[in-house]
């Protein structure tokens, strides 16, 4: 089983719609969780950290479910500018060795 | 602040050639890492460093060397390039280490092709 698994998609989303996707991780000792955004041929950039209590940043909501070992990202009122690949990132075993998922590709359609 | 810079942006090598990918950061970050990104594979950790003089292997270290003589610089050396090393290479830095929510800052990447 891969350390971090994501359905690569693509997720074709009408503008203004809501899209949500999950990421599962295999190491129950993982301590910190993130969503990064990567635009085509660009470097990844932090979108948001994912805390145990869940967190929201504008139209973006992230949740963590430790019991089932997954994190989720929900995007409301999708904009054309949300088109990107969203990378699930999990910290391994309390050190600086991050594990990246393959990413969820989101395409927002006018 | 320039953040994390990488040179070159593009490089074409022939099999067997060696080269060094440069990475520098001006944020006084202790942690620096090298990743490669291949289609359908996600980012994979090559080597990382928790401070000047300290380096360790990631999940795909074979064929690469690193050193960390200063806090700012973390070069990646390809010893004898192979076509399997064709990839996009990202350098990243962060303030602190694992177990805490430290943002990784990535450089713009180096696109390497080995013929």
Interval B54-89: pLDDT, tens: 999 999 999 999 999 999 999 999 999 999 999 999
Distance from CA of A8 to the nearest CA of B (A): 9
At residue B99, the pLDDT reads 53
The phi, psi pair for A82, rounded to 5°, reads -80, -10
Among residues A31, A35, A43, the alpha carbon closest in space to that of A73 is found at: A35
**Chain B residues touching chain A at CB-CB below 8 Å:** 31, 33, 35, 40-45, 48, 50, 58-59, 90, 94, 97-101, 103-104, 106-109
At residue A91, the pLDDT reads 85
Using the predicted structure, report yes or no on whether residue B92 has a pLDDT greater than 80. yes
At residue B25, the pLDDT reads 97
At residue A57, the pLDDT reads 94
In 3-state terms, what secondary structure has residue A67? coil
Task: Give every residue of chain A whose pLDDT is below 70, as ranges.
Answer: 93-96
At residue A93, the pLDDT reads 61
- Give strand pairing partners of A104: A86
Rounded mean pLDDT of chain B? 93
In chain A, residues 39-78 whose CB comes closer than 8 Å to chain B: 42-46, 49, 51
Chain B residues whose CB is inside 8 A of the A98 CB are 33, 45, 98, 104
At residue A94, the pLDDT reads 59
Using the predicted structure, report yes or no on whether residue B97 has a pLDDT greater than 80. no
B97/A42 Cβ within 8 A: no
Please state the rounded mean pLDDT for residues B15-26.
97
DSSP letter for each residue of B69-114:
SSSSB--EEESS--GGG-EEEEEEEESS-TTS-PPPEE---EEEEE
At residue B1, the pLDDT reads 78
């Amino acid at each position: 089983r891969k350390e971090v698994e994501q359905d690569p998609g693509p997720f074709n989303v009408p503008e203004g719609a809501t899209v949500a996707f999950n990421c599962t991780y295999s190491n129950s000792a993982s301590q910190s969780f993130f969503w990064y955004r990567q635009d085509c041929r660009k470097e990844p950039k932090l979108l948001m950290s994912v805390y145990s209590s869940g967190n929201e940043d504008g139209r973006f909501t992230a949740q963590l479910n430790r019991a089932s070992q997954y994190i989720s990202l929900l995007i409301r009122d999708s904009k054309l500018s949300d088109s990107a690949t969203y990378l699930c990132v999990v910290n391994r075993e309390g050190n600086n060795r991050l594990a990246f998922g393959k990413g969820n590709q989101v395409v927002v359609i006018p | 602040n320039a953040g994390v810079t990488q040179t070159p942006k593009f490089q074409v090598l022939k099999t067997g050639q060696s080269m060094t990918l440069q990475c520098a950061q001006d944020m006084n970050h202790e942690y620096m890492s090298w990743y490669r990104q291949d289609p359908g594979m996600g980012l994979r950790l090559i080597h990382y460093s928790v401070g000047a003089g300290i380096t360790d292997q990631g999940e795909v270290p074979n064929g690469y060397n690193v050193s960390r003589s200063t806090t700012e610089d973390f070069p990646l050396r390809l010893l004898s390039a192979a076509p399997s090393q064709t990839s996009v290479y990202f350098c990243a830095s962060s303030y602190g280490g694992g177990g805490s929510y430290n943002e990784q800052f990535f450089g713009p990447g180096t696109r390497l092709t080995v013929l």
